[in-house]
Structure 1
Amino acid sequence: MTQPETTPSFEQAMDKLETIVARLESGDVPLEQAIELFQEGMKLSQLCGQKLEQVERKIEILLEQEGGLVKKPFSPADEKGDIG
């Protein structure tokens, strides 16, 4: 009997994604395992993106409820000190 999978938290998913990236970057992973890790990493990346979108929507709702606040979409390009 298998246990139902629980959705990891954002932090858990990011930690696991970082581990996967490090393993893939090491180059010591057989091709078939690398493909499996890549697929798992893509799923985790999508999960993290969805969780961030949910949080963004919640913040927008909270700001709208406060009234009088101007909602401005977050744009990473507007941040100072970008690496690149």
Structure 2
Amino acid sequence: MAEEQSQISDLSFEQALRELEGVVRRLESGDVPLDESIDLYERGEQLRKACQKRLDAAQARIEKIVAGPDGKPAGTEPFDTGNAA
């Protein structure tokens, strides 16, 4: 578990996301003792926040790239993940 407990700031987005997915799987399994479940939940929340922060930063960079000469968006569209509902 020591490897899993690495500093979140040292993880790439992909590593943090994989670890978060692992945390969710373990919690959903129901085979984790209560105290460990609480620790896992806390770690998962930290990972989620780190991933969201990186996604927000990426979105801001993209919006800056597509900004017009006056700094206003030159035509942004919602990102399509390909998951049509």
TM-score (norm 1): 0.76
Q: Could you tell me which amino acid in structure 2 is paired with residue 7 of structure 1?
A: D
Q: Which has the higher contact order (CA 8 A, sep 6+)?
A: 1
- 2:58 aligns to what? 55
- 1:69 aligns to what? 74
Counterparts of 2:65 and 2:50, CA distance in 1: 23
- 2:38 aligns to what? 35
Task: State percent identity of aligned pairs.
Answer: 33
Cα RMSD over matched residues?
2.7
- 1:11 aligns to what? 14
Counterparts of 2:16 and 2:83, CA distance in 1: 27
How many equivalent residue pairs? 76
| Deviation larger for 59-68 or 16-25 | 59-68
Where do 5+ consecutive residues of structure 1 fail to align? none
Counterparts of 1:21 and 1:75, CA distance in 2: 25
Higher helix share: 1
